[in-house]
């Protein structure tokens, strides 16, 4: 009995220590964010004073992480899914082409030349198909959603990009390189070495990066950080990053997401996550989503 009591006390003490460490880490990240915000304001004031006294010279064009190929058809939206319901959302001004996820997606995207791609992450093979298209040189802006077959209501997400497993910090930093200085990034995962390398690279480029080691901590940091970009390992404990990705739909503007895929296809887990939102006010009909995605800026707002 005494041994059992001792084990129970030890376990309780261990849980308390873990929670204390979580609280301390969140407090430390809050302090870091406040310091970074003070620094950002100071740099902005210095830049304002510099511009006020400098010769403005000729204007320079804005740049961003997304480039638009002149051959792209801005009125065409390709949807990576197997559900023909999407084709009902086609209109003269915003046409929809349905591509079933598979090995032919990179070649078909190249031949169709759409302005944007909408990816149903709950469709088997969709995220992998986008990854294959990126590897083949696809540059179209990609947006995500969660949709059940035949359902009119879908959960809209923001811009998405496929990452690698394990996370390649160099490649991930290159994917985020076009975001402006001061952009807030939340990186979620357990691969400490890769996340720290990613943070170092992005911080050097002027981005503000916070790290969460599990889904619970990430959820706690969302309101505090208000990230424009989230890097999420979908295999993060305790139950994966699927609910976290879905919850990003409630943030305005919706953050862009770089998705580190799990070892298996994440579609089924995303479909299960979607079941929590069947009566949610966040769901929109497919026609509205097609219209909104087709008119979204191809680069993040500044």
CATH assignment of the domain containing 181: 3.40.50.2300
More confident residue, 21 or 100: 100
Residues 153 and 274 in one domain: yes
Buried b (16+ CB within 10 A) or exposed e, 66-75: beeeeebeee
Residues 219 and 240 in one domain: yes
Judged by DSSP in three states, 260 sits in strand
Q: Write the CA distances from 176 to 163, 211, 260, integer angstroms.
A: 11, 16, 14
Contacts of 16 (CB under 8 A, 6+ apart): none
Select from 246, 212, 242, 210 the least CA-distant residue to 228.
Answer: 210
Residues 89 and 207 in one domain: no
- We report the CATH number of the domain holding residue 144 as 3.40.50
What pLDDT score was predicted for residue 296? Answer: 85
Residues 255 and 274 in one domain: no
Q: What pLDDT band is residue 52 in, cutting at 50, 70 and 90?
A: very low
Tell me what the mean pLDDT of segment 132-153 comes to.
95
Residues 172 and 128 in one domain: no
Burial grade of 33 (CB within 10 A; 0-12, 13-18, 19 or more): middle
The pair of structure tokens assigned to 215 is 């889904």
DSSP 255: P
Q: What pLDDT band is residue 71 in, cutting at 50, 70 and 90?
A: low
Residues 110 and 191 in one domain: no
Please indicate, yes or no, if residue 30 is contained in any of the structural domains.
Answer: no
The domain tally of the chain equals: 2
Please give the share of the chain, as a percent, with pLDDT higher than 70: 75
Tell me what the mean pLDDT of segment 252-257 comes to.
95
| Distance between CA atoms of residues 246 and 183, nearest Å | 21
Please indicate, yes or no, if residue 195 is contained in any of the structural domains.
Answer: yes
What pLDDT score was predicted for residue 65? Answer: 43
Q: Is the pLDDT of residue 169 over 60?
A: yes
Q: Is the pLDDT of residue 286 over 90?
A: yes
More confident residue, 215 or 119: 119
What pLDDT score was predicted for residue 92? Answer: 87
Q: What residue has token string 């003070």?
A: 38
Residues 189 and 225 in one domain: yes
**42-51 pLDDT, tens digit each:** 455 445 545 5
Residues 241 and 100 in one domain: no
Q: Compute the mean pLDDT over every residue in the chain, rounded to the nearest whole number.
A: 84
What pLDDT score was predicted for residue 279? Answer: 84
Please indicate, yes or no, if residue 49 is contained in any of the structural domains.
Answer: no
Please indicate, yes or no, if residue 66 is contained in any of the structural domains.
Answer: no
Q: What pLDDT band is residue 2 in, cutting at 50, 70 and 90?
A: low
Please indicate, yes or no, if residue 101 is contained in any of the structural domains.
Answer: yes
What pLDDT score was predicted for residue 284? Answer: 96
**179-203 pLDDT, tens digit each:** 999 999 999 999 999 999 999 999 9
Residues 146 and 270 in one domain: yes
DSSP 161-212: EE--SS--HHHHHHHTTTSPTT-EEEEE-S-HHHHHHHHHHHHHTT-EEEEE
Task: Indicate the range of 23-27, 79-83, 251-255 predicted with least confidence.
Answer: 23-27
Contacts of 179 (CB under 8 A, 6+ apart): 65, 185, 207, 228, 229, 300
Residues 247 and 170 in one domain: yes
β-pair type (284-285, 153-162): antiparallel
Per the structure, the complete domain to which residue 113 belongs is given by 73-159+264-294
Residue 61 has a CB neighbour count (10 Å cut-off) of 4
């Amino acid at each position: 009995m005494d041994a059992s009591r001792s084990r129970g006390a030890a376990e309780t003490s261990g849980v308390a220590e873990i929670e204390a460490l979580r609280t301390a880490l969140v407090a430390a990240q809050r302090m870091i964010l406040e310091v970074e915000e003070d620094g950002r304001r100071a740099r902005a004031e210095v830049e304002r004073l510099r511009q006020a006294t400098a010769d403005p010279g000729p204007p320079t064009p804005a740049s961003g992480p997304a480039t638009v190929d002149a051959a792209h058809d801005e009125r065409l939206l390709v949807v990576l899914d197997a559900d023909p319901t999407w084709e009902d959302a086609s209109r003269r001004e915003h046409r929809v082409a349905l591509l079933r996820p598979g090995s032919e997606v990179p070649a078909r995207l190249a031949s169709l030349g759409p302005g944007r791609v909408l990816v149903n992450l709950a469709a088997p093979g969709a995220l992998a198909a986008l990854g294959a298209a990126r590897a083949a040189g696809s540059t179209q802006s990609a947006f995500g959603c969660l949709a059940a077959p035949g359902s009119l209501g879908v959960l809209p997400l923001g811009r998405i990009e496929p990452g690698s497993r394990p996370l390649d910090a160099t490649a991930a930093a290159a994917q985020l390189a076009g975001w402006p200085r001061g952009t807030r990034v939340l990186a979620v995962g357990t691969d400490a070495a890769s996340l720290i390398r990613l943070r170092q690279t992005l911080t050097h480029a002027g981005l503000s990066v916070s790290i969460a080691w599990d889904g619970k901590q990430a959820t706690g940091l969302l309101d505090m950080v208000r990230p424009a970009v989230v890097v999420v390992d979908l295999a993060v404990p305790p139950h994966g990053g699927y609910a976290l990705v879905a919850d990003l739909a409630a943030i305005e503007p919706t953050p862009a997401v770089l998705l580190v895929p799990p070892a298996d296809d994440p579609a089924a887990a995303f479909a299960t996550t979607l079941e929590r939102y069947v009566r949610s006010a966040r769901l929109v009909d497919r026609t509205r989503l097609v219209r909104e995605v087709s008119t979204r800026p191809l680069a993040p707002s500044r």
